Amino acid sequence: MVHRSFRVVATQLRRSAGWGTAAMRAATLTLYALSLVSCGIAILGVSGLISPVRAMTLISEEEARRPVGEVTPELGLRGITRGPSIKIVSPSGVTTTSPVVLRIVFEAHGGSAINVAAVKVTYLKSPSVDLTQRLRPYITADGIAVDQADVPAGRHAVRIDVRDAEGRQSSSVLNFTVDR
């Protein structure tokens, strides 16, 4: 049926545009190949072999049910020299929905660079949860960028610890609430 409809289209093109037989065969084969590719993609999508991008699990339901831990940054990280800046870009509001867009920007000072290997991200529960390994693919010297992070409903506090190449440290706490 599909092949027959292409022949009809090809015949109409040949008559209206004055295309020769060789050009029409090439056009017909191209259209036929494109339809097979489209059908194949549709079949793969329906069968589940091609799936939409899934959100990475930042915090599990079990971790979210734990009691609240210490929410203040460690005072031992403060000093005379200026450590890296940590700017929380997103979630920009206190309340958001899941999946969460997570954008945190790091900025080193005094000509130093961010020590990416020393970045630590901790979910402040009791006991605390180290989120660093889950976020490792999203951590760069510029910051943390996750387009879709799955987080259960509720209030959450996440501490970000950053160190520069000179060993100067900074810490910031991200507080947000997820509504479902």
On whether the CB atoms of residues 112 and 85 are closer than 8 A, the answer is: no
Whether residues 62 and 19 share a domain: the answer is: no
Whether residues 68 and 16 share a domain: the answer is: no
d(CA 8, CA 116): 61
Whether residues 27 and 78 share a domain: the answer is: no
Whether residues 86 and 119 share a domain: the answer is: yes
**Kind plus residue range of the DSSP H or E element containing 78:** none
What's the domain range around 21?
Answer: 2-47
Whether residues 84 and 168 share a domain: the answer is: yes
d(CA 153, CA 97): 8
Whether residues 18 and 78 share a domain: the answer is: no
Helices (H) and strands (E) in the chain, counts: 4, 10
**CATH number of the CATH domain containing 120:** 2.60.40.10
Whether residues 96 and 122 share a domain: the answer is: yes
d(CA 55, CA 70): 27
On whether the CB atoms of residues 102 and 145 are closer than 8 A, the answer is: yes
**Helix, strand, or coil here: 177?**
strand
Whether residues 70 and 37 share a domain: the answer is: no
Q: Residue range 1-23: average pLDDT?
A: 60
Range 71-78 contact pairs with CB under 8 angstroms and sequence separation of 24 or more: 71/124, 71/157, 71/173, 71/175, 72/173, 73/159, 73/171, 73/172, 73/173, 74/171, 77/161, 77/169, 77/170, 77/171
pLDDT number for residue 55: 83
On whether the CB atoms of residues 96 and 179 are closer than 8 A, the answer is: yes
Work out the mean pLDDT of the chain and round it to a whole number.
Answer: 81
Q: How many domains does the chain have?
A: 2
Whether residues 91 and 139 share a domain: the answer is: yes
For 120-178, write each residue's pLDDT tens digit: 999 999 999 999 999 999 999 999 999 999 999 999 999 999 999 999 999 999 999 99
pLDDT number for residue 51: 47
Whether residues 40 and 86 share a domain: the answer is: no
The model's pTM is 0.67
DSSP category for residue 5 = H
Residue bearing the bigger pLDDT, 18 or 119: 119
Whether residues 20 and 105 share a domain: the answer is: no
77 has a pLDDT exceeding 80: no
On whether the CB atoms of residues 161 and 77 are closer than 8 A, the answer is: yes
Whether residues 116 and 154 share a domain: the answer is: yes
Residue bearing the bigger pLDDT, 167 or 47: 167
